[in-house]
Amino acid sequence: MALQKVNLKLYVYSGTSGSFSNGDLKYEISKDRISSQNNIVLEIGQLVKDYLVTSFDNDYIGNSVWVSAVVDYYEEATQAIYESNGTQTFTYLAFDGYGDFQEEINPALSTDLLQTSLNMYLPEGTAGKLPIFAEGVGKVIIDSVTTEITDNGNSNQKIQYLTIPANKSSVQIYATDDTTLLKTVTVNNVCEPKFTPHKVTFVNKLGTYQDVYFFKKTTESFNVKDETYKRNTIDTNTLTYGTNEGQKQRYNVNGSTKITLNTGYVKEDFNSALEELFLSENAWIRWENKTLPVIISSKDMTLKNVLNDRLIDYTVGFEFAFNKINNVR
Amino acid sequence: MSTKINVRSPYFLQFTEPTQTLGVFTCDTALLQNFSVDSTGIINNPNIRNGAILDQSAYTFSPNTGTSVIPRSVTYTIAIPVNYTNSNDSTIDCVQTFDQPVRPPAQDPAQNPLCPTYTGVTVPDISGVAPSSVQTFNASQFFVAGTDGIGSIDVDRISGSGSVIASTSGTHPNIICTIQSSTSCVTAEFFLIARGNSTTCKGGSDSFTFTTSGCDDFDCDDANITAGTGRIEQDGTVHKSTWGLGGLGLNKLLYGATDITTSLNVGANNTGSVIPIVLTYRFNIPLGYTNSGTFDCDVTYSQPATTTLPEFTCGDAQITGTYISDSGNIAAPSLTLGTLVSWSPQSFLQVSTDTPRTITLTITPPPANFSNSGGANITCPVDITQPAKQADCGTITVFLSQGYSSVQDICYEQQAGRYWQTSNQVSTNASSAAAARYEYGSRMCYGTTPVFGLNRWYVITTTQTTGDALYNFYAIQIDENGIVQDSVIWNCGSVTGGSGGNI
């Protein structure tokens, strides 16, 4: 008795685990076993990514999805599905995250706090958001106030964003037994009387929205792209041309805005947040009371440490991810 | 906890051949054959086709001195092999019945002068022996030889722990019985049986017991009733606590003097306030303790005055059917209540020996009737053993007899007029059917399940046949993993025990 092939149906869906329907079927894959091997291997991360939509409007909604792989195992001798355990369903919860090379194959990453840095910086008097994985956290204690963490099984509740009230100093994250302290996040409340802090939100390594405040100087710049053509301005009836009419005409004019932001002094632990910002595919800035998409224009980052640099701050360049003139068609 | 995929990195799925379950293991599946009880009460244990015999309800019966047959039955406790849908049940009881024939005068020591006879001197009990201490005594002293002499004296188990090992050696009048056990506080009951040199007539002694030291009294600490389990509802419904001592049987559940074992109800609490209720768990004291009979353990519960919803716990889910294949794949368990969300990890690596594993299930409580309905998922650890990767059972077919404690036993059977029979077809990974008769290290299997050989000896042939042990035959010794540990060519000749030797 040997395995001939597998037929895989891949369902990607929201709601509760296993609640998929025919409409959620995204891929059907069939693969034969290579004769010299005992198993069949398929990669699904890239397939699922197409259906993991990232959208942020300062609303902090969890964007994980369920993935159910329904597998039919075919027996070589009969070329039919095995009588026993011939069809099996495997269910996963997909995040828009990634593992580092050192984290090896099929990285699962953290199952409690969904950001790497254990420090966060907030402007004084400002509330913050902290992403957690609801299945792995029983309760959190913000300063001395306890909040029980529950979820109803829905995919949009798996990632939860804790609201950290203004001017709190720490968040303790406990396991589902409510007694094992997993992590403590230090909240640094920063007084910045001179500059206007800007909040940049990006999708971090664990696939959640993470805020980084840039407290110090902001520089805004602007560049323009255009094209020209030469035109004929001769009036053939009078055989004249107006000197007020240009021989060159400009068209397709548009511009884009760039900004340069500075973090202010941060702890070395915060390097990971900046590194993940640089590696993020999606980022937004809170700008003039709107959430606007940005692209990180800085491509190089030197990771600083207290030994070499004593005080650590970072300057990051961004470009708004849209044209100045509305030409959205 | 759900298994996470981080889609910006690849996520690989690996599929291996699914484990085939073999349906429900029943007594028909076990296929016990050739069970019998002879006129003197000796039980010939049956051959088993699938599974392995762990225990039996009787080891001997009284001689049938009457004038008609006596129906006898023995309940065999059989270990259920893996891959059956009820493998998690671990064991199944199968009853074998046989009509014990009337003992003929030729086998009655009182009527046959050839027979050895029991002197009537009580074989002394051996008690309080330190574990691993070897005890010996001269078994010959309890028998008087008939005109046929005494060819052998065996020590046969009547009941008790299998960890007590007894055997005899030597020749009459110096046949020595040796008994020992490496386990503390175990008891077994035996009797001696003497056989003539050439007749089938046997004489048996009274029983005697062997007990090792290290026993203490059974008490509630031994029962280990689990705190926090069990409760009583406002309407009086009792949900019993669980206890930690495996195999401990509950004799009765009492509320005061009232037996509520069946009703499981203490009456509604209409007092308006919470009241304490004391229930008495009356346990049957198991073997291995100095006290016996029953022992009472009181547990106090709080019966609420109003109906309160219980919290949904792992016990409420009644998780069954969790299963790990020999490839390390995990099959979805069944729940009576709640919804299974996921389990972690998703699979294990293959192992070469049976390996204890813990699978953590994430379960959503039912939508109503529990205090945590609609609340957070609960996680339930399930301990289960991952079986070793399927043994190599080969494709060569050979045939085995029933198992014998020693090769000499085959000769005793021959002297009793019984031929050996290789009625059990097995497969082996030996290099050939002929070589299987003497190839050390080869494996014998019933189908794909290794023979649970218990280091017994089995006559082996390449075809299914019956043979007279007076002629040369091959016998192999098989261990619990079906591996051949020893082999001999033997013939019983005219001498008790026969002659032969290692191949």
A–B CB contacts, 8 A cutoff, strictly below: 158
Say if strands B484-491 and B499-502 run parallel, antiparallel, or are unpaired.
antiparallel
Q: Is A17 touching B (CB cutoff 8 A)?
A: yes
At residue B495, the pLDDT reads: 53
Measured between CA atoms, how close is B353 to chain A, in angstroms?
Answer: 20
| pLDDT tens for each residue of chain A, 329 residues long | 688 999 999 999 999 888 899 999 999 999 999 988 889 999 999 999 999 988 999 999 988 999 999 999 998 878 888 877 889 999 999 999 999 999 899 988 899 999 999 999 999 999 999 999 999 998 999 998 999 888 888 888 899 999 999 999 999 999 988 889 999 999 999 999 999 999 999 999 999 999 999 999 999 999 999 999 999 999 999 999 999 999 999 999 999 999 999 999 999 889 999 999 999 999 999 999 999 999 999 988 888 888 888 888 899 999 999 999 998 98
At residue A200, the pLDDT reads: 96
At residue B499, the pLDDT reads: 63
Residue predicted with more confidence, B62 or B85: B62
Measured between CA atoms, how close is A204 to chain B, in angstroms?
Answer: 11
In chain B, whose CA is at the least distance from the CA of A149? Answer: B376
In chain A, whose CA is at the least distance from the CA of B17? Answer: A3
Cβ contact A45–B332 (<8 Å): no
The ipTM, to two decimals, is: 0.92
Q: Is A73 touching B (CB cutoff 8 A)?
A: yes
- DSSP state letters, A261-281: EE--SB-GGGHHHHHHHHT-S
- Which residues of A are less than 8 Å from B379 in CB distance? 176
Nearest to A85 among B20, B362, B377 (CB): B20
At residue A32, the pLDDT reads: 94
pLDDT digits (tens, 9 = 90+) for B144-165: 888 888 888 988 877 666 678 8
At residue B139, the pLDDT reads: 93
Which residue intervals of chain A are DSSP H helices? 45-49, 271-278, 306-309
Q: Is A41 touching B (CB cutoff 8 A)?
A: yes
User: Do B479 and B403 touch, CB atoms closer than 8 A?
Assistant: no
- Which residues of A are less than 8 Å from B15 in CB distance? 3, 6, 39-42, 71, 73
In chain B, whose CA is at the least distance from the CA of A158? Answer: B2
What CATH architecture does domain B107-212 belong to?
Sandwich (2.60)
B241 φ/ψ sector (left φ>0, alpha ψ -120 to 50, else beta): beta
At residue B44, the pLDDT reads: 80
Averaged pLDDT, B206-212: 87
Distance (Å, whole) CA B165 – CA B171: 20
Cβ contact A98–B8 (<8 Å): yes
Measured between CA atoms, how close is A300 to chain B, in angstroms?
Answer: 21
Where would I find the beta strands (DSSP E) of chain A?
A: 3-13, 25-32, 39-43, 65-75, 87-95, 119-123, 128-133, 139-142, 145-148, 159-164, 170-174, 181-190, 198-203, 209-214, 219-230, 248-262, 283-287, 290-296, 315-320
- DSSP state letters, A310-322: SSB--EEEEEESS
pLDDT digits (tens, 9 = 90+) for B444-501: 888 777 788 878 899 998 887 878 888 888 999 888 778 888 888 888 875 555 666 5
Averaged pLDDT, B97-112: 83
Nearest to B377 among A2, A96, A135 (CB): A135
Cβ contact B5–A89 (<8 Å): no
Cβ contact B2–A176 (<8 Å): no
- Which residues of A are less than 8 Å from B14 in CB distance? 39-41
Distance (Å, whole) CA B465 – CA B419: 10
- Alpha carbon dihedral B483, B487, B492, B495, in 10-degree steps, equals -110
Nearest Cα to B64, choosing from B96, B46, B42? B42
Chain A interface test: which of B1, B14, B15, B339 (most A C-beta within 10 Å): B15
At residue B96, the pLDDT reads: 93
In chain A, whose CA is at the least distance from the CA of B6? Answer: A97
At residue B425, the pLDDT reads: 84
Measured between CA atoms, how close is A102 to chain B, in angstroms?
Answer: 12
At residue A160, the pLDDT reads: 93
Q: Is A53 touching B (CB cutoff 8 A)?
A: no
Cβ contact B17–A1 (<8 Å): yes
Distance (Å, whole) CA A276 – CA A296: 11
Q: Is B395 touching A (CB cutoff 8 A)?
A: no
- DSSP state letters, B52-115: EEEEES-SB-----SSS-EEEEEEEEEEPPTTSTTGGG-EEEEEEEEEEPPPPGGG-TTT-TTS
Q: Is B7 touching A (CB cutoff 8 A)?
A: yes
Domain boundaries, chain B: 27-103, 107-212, 220-303, 314-386, 396-502
CB within 8 Å of A273: residues ≥ 6 apart: A115, A116, A117, A204, A210, A212
Joined tokens for residue B110: 């009182």
Distance (Å, whole) CA A2 – CA B156: 48
Q: Is B341 touching A (CB cutoff 8 A)?
A: yes
In chain B, whose CA is at the least distance from the CA of A71? Answer: B15
Nearest to B376 among A88, A107, A151 (CB): A151
- Which residues of B are less than 8 Å from A73 in CB distance? 15, 17-18
Residue-wise burial string across A265-278, b where 16 or more C-beta atoms lie within 10 A, e elsewhere: bbeeebbbbbbbbe
Joined tokens for residue A307: 């030994």
Nearest to A111 among B1, B5, B341 (CB): B1
Nearest to A3 among B2, B16, B331 (CB): B16
Q: Is A15 touching B (CB cutoff 8 A)?
A: no
**Residue that has been written with the tokens 């001696």 in this structure:** B192
Other C-beta atoms lying within 10 Å of the C-beta of residue B7: 24
- Which residues of A are less than 8 Å from B16 in CB distance? 3, 38-40
- Which residues of A are less than 8 Å from B331 in CB distance? 85, 88
Q: Is A16 touching B (CB cutoff 8 A)?
A: yes
Cβ contact B331–A85 (<8 Å): yes
At residue B48, the pLDDT reads: 81
At residue B199, the pLDDT reads: 67
- Which residues of B are less than 8 Å from A3 in CB distance? 15-17
Grouping H, G, I as helix, E, B as strand and the rest as coil, residue B387 is coil
Rounded to two decimals, the pTM is: 0.49
At residue B224, the pLDDT reads: 84
In chain B, whose CA is at the least distance from the CA of A103? Answer: B9
CA B363 to chain centre: 34
Rounded to 5 degrees, φ, ψ at A58 are 60, 25
At residue B501, the pLDDT reads: 55
